[in-house]
Structure 1
């Protein structure tokens, strides 16, 4: 319909424009008085031109209009359709005939041209479609997951698809032109040649065979080849071969056959027989191993009664009960005993699962295992496990197994739990065990485990420490080795943990002893090289045989000492007979002696004091050979000691006065500083007794009170240690700290005091203050003292809120500044200048040491403590401290 409307519109357009053109030609001809024949020719040209637009009807209509115009306007009589001259009528007929024939011819030409154009378009479309189909079929041929080969009658490969070449490890162009026999094993080539000949003999008939092909890398795959011979374009025969890879199928078949053989062997080796039982028909199947276990003839027909006949009398009831439940379709698994004809007993473990046959019958498939040996081994194993557990407990050695895939312990002996401080009867999580490993050793242990998993060979030894709940440290020596699975990866780590704490302590003692021995050896070597002592040696009769005098000490002792005993060299034998009697007894007993001091004379006859030490020496048979030793001139030392004794008397008197003075000041400081934590300890102890004395003791609250007591006790101990250090002028433990952190720590310690005295604490701590170098505990004590003074100053306040303000900031010089402000009674004008002095106090029970100690601490840190005057009630104490860089510089 649309095409018809389109053609009609095209014809109307052609007729309209053609009529307009004819009108224009008519006007032009009339204007120039054109001859009738010329106008007819012009009309014919117009008609033929418009006929090229394709509508024959419109062109015919234009021809008729042209004839009418010629007859009406250009043939006499004019302005009339009547024609008087026969020649004019002949021209008009010729004109009409020529226009219609010409229009018809033009239409035919146009139609043939359009037809040719459509045919050409269809040919082009068919050619493109043919190329696409060829491309698709070639793609299907090339990449179809089946190997395709085209060979000629002599076996040369004419074509091969990409998939087939790839499966064999070749590129297609590597195979084309080769003999197809190249890709088969040598022993199979004759078979292939015969198969190809059979195909060529029976053109068009398919042939199928299974055979092995050889890849380029030498590996082999099984294929099922389907081949057919056909005639090619030049009537030459070719063979088309389609190959299906059946390697996995072949392997499965071979594996199934091996599996069947292995199953029979496995049943024999594992003493496990298989059976089947159709409940509805009563049909029973036994494997050969089942007959052997029950010791029946394999030719016998297996029945339930055969089982009951062999069952131990004590187990027949349970076996019958299992069979009765099996009739209801229940799976079963049970153990029972067999009483054999020779009187021996076998233990059997039977397991069966119920299935439904296609007819709906219940059928059981199961296995019966002879576990007699296992039962015997279990009894021995239980005894061995008991012995092993005792041995592990006695030797403090635990065994374990780590599952590498599940990342958890597959087994852990009771001794392992004991080593880690856990009850072996209670379950313990992996996280709990890891929490007991010393933090410094946890990463090492994990690295060793990772290394053992990666290397998979050899033993791996490492040491680590266990932190026990009571704070003790246990040293463990671990030995592990990897168990490798069938895929070559590590599936399990098996190892032991041995408590070597005592050995570790002994080794440390030995190492310390060896270090001390080496140090002593070096020290005595240095002494021997640098000392100004005399070395001597005596014989078995104690007479001096050698005397080596240091060069710088020549002439100190008298000459002629060789051959004399020590008693004749000394000059104080009669003055101290007991000393020499004991010395002689030591010599007679062949014992070493040390630091024997006696008086002798030098070559000038002046008294000289010496100190000697000796050690006996023996031959390899143990015979006493004499003494070797060293003698030192201590005359100057003796005289210095005498002078020092006189000096020490004078120093003792002075030290007594100093100790009394220092002790008085220190006692007052300790009493003042320890008073606060002791009071808190008493308060918390009372609270703890209250929590414990309830009908149902509140243990969490009591625990909190005890923890507070411990904190206050530690605080008191720290105060005493710091005050003693301050009194002794000891060094301050300076570290880099943030003053805001110190304030927060101090607030934590006085929170209860603030609550007890109904004091509101407000802090205004400036952020991002620079660090200072200070002793944290001493600064905490300063802040606590200032806070406690503020609390005590506000005890009498009843008409306003008891508020304490702690502010931190930077002063004009950029130093860190801290102030504590209370709203108490304030400080009298006369007391302002003395409030920081020692022993000055405005309290009836005070000692006057708190603010003095605070000032000493601040000044020891390079800062200054002061009182800020203000108009409103209360007092403000503030101190400034230098920055970290200032202290360092």
Structure 2
């Protein structure tokens, strides 16, 4: 039908024009039921617009417009209601189908238990036509034993009005009993207002049957869980095995459960580790036969021996008919009719044996044994794990004991990898080096920094190669403490090899030799002092006579020349100078004799640099060759030292003489002796006398303490010995080092600086 209103121009403001168009139209207002929805909407908008304009129509026409608009609005509402009813009917039909053909039973019952409605699935479950069930009681379909529970369920539902559920059994007409779960909520009929119960019935028969089938196997599964739980608790092996036996007896229902360990002794005995249940059987067996996994008295094999030897399980569902089971008649007399034996195998090794006895015959079917074998495997793994943990615990305990010992020992103990990374240091190592572990974490430590250069070279070139090849090296080395001082040690280095034969770790233990060397030095000093005292006294006495005579001759010569004419020019002055030098020699001999006889040096504050600059030109006088010269490198910030200048001059003279003779022997082109002073970090003043000569033999460096030791042909060995005695009397130390890689030797000695006046420091 053509929409005339849609095609016509919009209604004008004139009411007459609107009336004319409406009366001249091709359809009347009574036909609105046949109009389309769009036509109704358009016409309604036109009418509303006309009613909003007071000039569009007279009052009578406005009443007509309002009536027509109401009719159109009513028609549109009717149409919406009809569409909603159609949708509701379709939805009800859909839910009715779902209700009837759902796989679950739905029904409604009254307070008295009468069926008011039931779906097709429920009718089929009860074995009746749906039409014949309406109004009938549901109780006759409930198993007789569960009817009290059913009525309790209904009463609780109607009285409390809360959602509730209950498991009961149904007995359908002509069918097998089934187990269901009732779930109910309370409802009411719209017209009557009478409450009724809506029930959903879920058939769980197959699920219950499956649960029943699995129940026996689950007992063993709970045994697995018990094993795992016991292991997680950290229980020891005997506790684990006993708990498993108790579970198999109390929870799984076996008459007897035992677990034993085959002992590898001469008797091949069996040690019972766990036992629960009919323990009288085991007691009777122990009193009758010896439990062994070896051959019996007749040479035959029993069940224990078979399982221990082969690692295979044994099952006897009729003990009377089984020949391998020792004491089967005792078990049968106690009411036990079936037995199973399972070896506990881990890593192809039988670690234990488990025996189970049941009251019923044929108790150990395939399903039962599947779970029992899994239990045996789990138990064997737990057994091995706990045994390993016990070994590991003992190893850790031994390791802890060792760590306690290493932490307590004052010796230096450390471990490093082949790359030189320090992996462990004991407190003694930190104490020896004067380090704080809190400020020196292991990852920041390198082995090379703990050794002087010569010691580190010896480690690389001798110690590590020897330890790598022979497994161990030992010898005398040195460490450096935080102040840069060398600490002599006796060091042992051990190489640790991996599975492939390569070295993975080096460990070392070093014993501080400082106290030992101090004691040895003290002993050598005593021996040297005795020798020097004796020889020095002799020499001083012998020198004193010619020196005294030389003074007398000089004095006599000067006396004779006094007042005489013709004395050569300069002769008198030369004799005077000879007298002065001889007098000075007499004083040195007297001071030296006094010192060697136990006298103490006359310590006074001394400017060491000034002394060296003053006596430097005299230090090389008297050499056969005059090309030697002295080079000085003096620390300008050197503090004053406490020293005896006479003894110190004699010490420097001896060291310079030795240096000059060493270079003369080596035929050095430009021989020079270097004297250097420096103020060290440890607060000592160090003097170095360096030459570029033949070098000091290793034997002499190691025997500086030996009295009267010399390498010079015709030497008496007093020079170095006197120098050491002088230095040590000043509280210092004398030592020699090679100038590697350059030629020559450097002698070092230390002196104590003058202690500052507390009042001056305070000021």
Instruction: State if a TM-score over 0.5 links the two structures.
Output: no
Higher relative contact order (CA 8 A, sep 6+): 2
TM-score category by the smaller chain? Answer: under 0.3
TM-score by length of 2: 0.26
TM-score by length of 1: 0.22
